[in-house]
Amino acid sequence: MTLQAIIFDVDGTLADTERDGHRVAFNAAFAEAGLDWNWDVALYGELLAVTGGKERIRFYVERHCPEFSKRPDFDALVKSLHAAKTTHYVRLVDSGELPLRPGVRALINEARVAGLRLGIATTTTPENVTALLRATLGADAETWFEAIGAGDIVPAKKPAPDIYQWVLQRLNLPANVCLALEDSGNGIRSSLGAGIPTLVTETDYTRDHDFSGALAVLPDLATTVLSDVRRYFDRAL
């Protein structure tokens, strides 16, 4: 089998966005709404167990202030908090404060030159993906990715396989000619659930996750070139 496409996760994989991006944006939205919720670095690590921002807010409320969910306007509040969070996050990304992880730009460039097809499978909101690609790779970077599966486009977020299955369908490729790049336990459960061989680059938040089934677990892509990726892919055969 020859590798035909690479499907990238976004948060934690393209860029280390969680601690200094999403977390900061959630806290800004909470403060703006007059809430005294503060997600510190350690607490946020626990909340990452749940993917999706709206789902994460609900998970926090369930655990830390369950009475809050009894408010009649709770659903609307979650929605508006999340919309405000997205605005803050996009602003942060636009300011250029969230760089790509080492080796990511080089691998994407090399893959494009080699004629590999590219996709994205993420639980984050589509606006966030657009902002990150533009801020880091340039105005036309979004067009490099033939299929961008993001956010609520599928109802069941990672670890469910749905988002990867959606991307496979868009690419019109079987799972076994693609390689997924992931950084988290929920991410690899999703990609492997869709049958896609998966390479992991771990982050500070995901180092202790269960990556069983990964082709390899790397600290980052700093020294990984496309021929290495192809070699890892061949392990899946």
Q: Which residues are catalytic?
A: 9, 11
Both tokens of residue 35? 């809430």
Listed ranges 31-39, 61-69, 108-116, 119-127: which one lies at the site for ligand XBP (CB under 6 A): 119-127
Q: How far is CA 83 from CA 15, 27, 127, 207, 211, in A?
A: 21, 13, 11, 30, 32
Taking CB under 6 A as the binding criterion, the range among 6-14, 69-77, 130-138, 212-220 that sits at the site for ligand XBP is 6-14
Please give the C-alpha separations between residue 112 and each of 61, 105, 121, 173, 228, in angstroms, as whole numbers: 43, 11, 18, 17, 16
Q: Is position 10 an interface residue for ligand XBP (rule: CB under 6 A)?
A: yes
Amino acid letter for position 114: A
Q: Judged by CB, which is closer to ligand XBP: 51, or 224?
A: 51
In angstroms, what is the minimal distance from the CB of 227 to ligand XBP?
26
Distance CA 161, CA 190 (A): 4
Name which of 27 and 125 has its Cβ closer to ligand XBP.
125
The stretch among 69-77, 169-177, 182-190, 214-222 that binds ligand XBP (CB under 6 A) is: 182-190
Neighbours of 102 (CB within 10 A): 14
Mark the segment that binds Mg ion (CB under 5 A) among 1-9, 25-33, 64-72, 215-223: 1-9
User: What is the distance in angstroms between the CA of the first residue and the CA of the last residue of the chain?
Assistant: 7
Residues whose CB is less than 8 angstroms from the CB of residue 153 and which lie 6 or more positions away in sequence, other chains included: 126, 163, 166
Strands 216-218, 198-201: pairing is: parallel
| Residue 123 binding ligand XBP, by CB under 6 A | yes
Establish if 9 lies at the interface with Mg ion (CB under 5 A): yes
Confirm if 168 and 191 have CB atoms less than 8 A apart: no
- Measured from the CB atom, the residue of 134 and 230 that comes closer to ligand XBP is 134
Minimum CB distance to Mg ion smaller for 12 or for 119? 12
Q: Is position 186 an interface residue for ligand XBP (rule: CB under 6 A)?
A: yes
3-state secondary structure of 9: coil
Closer of 11 and 224 to ligand XBP (Cβ): 11
Q: Does 16 bind Mg ion (CB under 5 A)?
A: no
128 scored as a contact of ligand XBP (CB under 6 A): yes
The residues that touch ligand XBP, with contacts defined as CB under 6 A, are 9-12, 18, 22, 51-53, 56, 85, 122-125, 128, 158, 184, 186-187
